[in-house]
Amino acid sequence: METRAEIERILDRAYAARQKQDVNAVFECFGSDGRFRQNGLDRPAADREAARSALQDLFDTFDLLEFQGHCRVIEPPRAVVYWRGKFRAKQSGEVAETDILDLIEIKDGKIASLTTFFDTALAARLLA
């Protein structure tokens, strides 16, 4: 089982890559069977490639303009990350800020699952 310090290092790497919107660097932090789920979708991506594609779609849809990490709660092998982001919808140019909560599970030094919760009504409004 990973220690709190090891999980912190994994999160630091993953969120640095997230801020750069570098999907390849983010997925270097994921295990071979890593899953990614957005709370507004019906089901999680079925495998690592589907998860990578879902994250790439998110990066292709929204620019992350600002990132503020507020809180991390780590109880190995899980972590909760609460953060605030300022986003611009690439299609409409609309800008908004929102709070995001990520639930993360670590296995064998990699992210086994990441479920992100965000304001889906705000995202839909930005895309309109």
Query: How confident is the model over 2-52, as pLDDT tens digits?
Result: 899 999 999 999 999 999 999 999 999 999 888 888 887 666 676 788 888
Mean pLDDT of 85-108: 95
Domain coverage including residue 32: 4-127
For residue 78, give the 3-state DSSP assignment: strand
Number of domains in the chain: 1
- pLDDT band at 125, cuts 50/70/90? confident
CATH of the domain at 87: 3.10.450.50
For residues 10 and 22, give the distance between their C-alpha atoms in angstroms, rounded to a whole number. Answer: 15
For residues 3 and 76, give the distance between their C-alpha atoms in angstroms, rounded to a whole number. Answer: 6
Mean pLDDT of 100-117: 95
Q: Where are the alpha helices (DSSP H) in the chain?
A: 4-20, 23-28, 48-61, 120-127
